[in-house]
Structure formats: C-alpha cells, structure tokens
Amino acid sequence: MLTKKQKNLLLFINKKLRSSGVSPSYEEMKASLNLKSKSGIHRLISALEERGFIKRLAHKARALEVIKLPETASANDIYNSFSPSVIKGGLDSEQEIDGVEIPVLGKIAAGTPVEAIQNEVSRIPLPENIEKKGEYFGLKVQGDSMIEAGINDGDTVVIKKTDTADNGKIVVALIDDHEAMLKRIRKKGKTVALESANKNYETKIFGPDRVKVQGVLVSLYRSF
C-alpha cells in the first residue's frame, strides 16, 4: 500500500518518462509535490524502490524505470499519466523533411478494428526527440476510443516496432492475425485485455494466443 505522496510521485515519474523518455529531475519532483526540500524526494524514491515500483538504472545519473503502477490507481490516474509527445502541425505537405523518415502503413482503429496493417502509403519524419535506435512506422488514427490518453481521430501515431510490451503501454495489437487496433494492453494470467481510453468503449478480452503486439506508441503528429 502506497501513501498518497508515494503514489503521486510514481505517477509523475511515469508521466514524465512516457512523454519525454527522460526521468524528471529532483527539482521537478519536488515542485510536483510542493515539497520544500529534496531530502523528502530521496526518501520517497527509496520507498518506491524497496516496494518494487521503480528501479534505479546503473551508471546513469537520475535515471529511473517504472516497473509497475499501483493496483489502486484509478483508470483516470493511469490515462492521465500518459502524455504523448505531440508534434503540432508537423505534417505540412510543403514542409522540407531532413533526417530520418519512416513509412506510414495506412490506418489504425482507435475504436472498432480495421484490417491489419497495410502497405506503405506515405513517409513522415521521425521526431527529433525520439531515439534513432530501433525500427519505427506511422499509422493514421481512426476513431475516438483513445481520446482520454490524448490521442485524437486524425492523428498520425509513431510506433516503435516490438513484439513485447509492459502492462499499461499503448500498443498496436494484431488480433487473430487479421485485425489491428490501437489500445492499452494489460495481461493477467491467461488473458489479455485491450483497454480503450474512453468510457464509451468496453474493454476487449482475448486469450493469449489471439493477440500479437506489433509495436508501442512513442509519439504522434497532429495537424491544426
């Protein structure tokens, strides 16, 4: 059981890691909890580490990894802990593109499923703040089931290819090798839950052999 401050700090660290890929500074953590000194942050981090919620990464200053979120966290806590890195107006057709490009492979449903990932339809720049190691692709979002996670209909999401994902990650999930959808994944026992971030949509439950992770959301483009 976590205290309120421990829980709030854990969610703040998780939000910062998801939005920027970098752990927050002790000054940022202190400000987020309205504490007067950093010593309180040190104690909270040690408590979270002892309870197995976070891990300090060796040989990296200030580097933390969130291992799990508290079971008592509400859906809103978890949704609000994810803030996608949004590149506003970043897909202007007249924009000159420098650097790494990635393929856009069609549309992905953030509501009801659509056909599995399609062939390349265009190319977009890989956001500058994304680590260049790994393989990435883009997908155009259809639907509103992930709006409470900051993902809107019409956004273009940037996905890092992987076949594994931690609980709570937003992933491209392939169902029965046929249908693809953008959902938050949760595994428990022999079942896989694919959660929407919209109270109007039900969570979908599948057997483990029916779901294959195709990639994890790392960023998105939004036109205004």
Which residues form the catalytic set? 145, 183
Contacts of 171 (CB under 8 A, 6+ apart): 165, 182, 183, 184, 185, 213, 214, 215, 216, 217
DSSP code for 116:
S
CA distance 163 to 166: 11
Containing 95, the helix (H) or strand (E) segment is: none
**Other Cβ atoms closer than 10 A to 175:** 18
Rg (alpha carbons) of the chain, rounded to whole number: 18
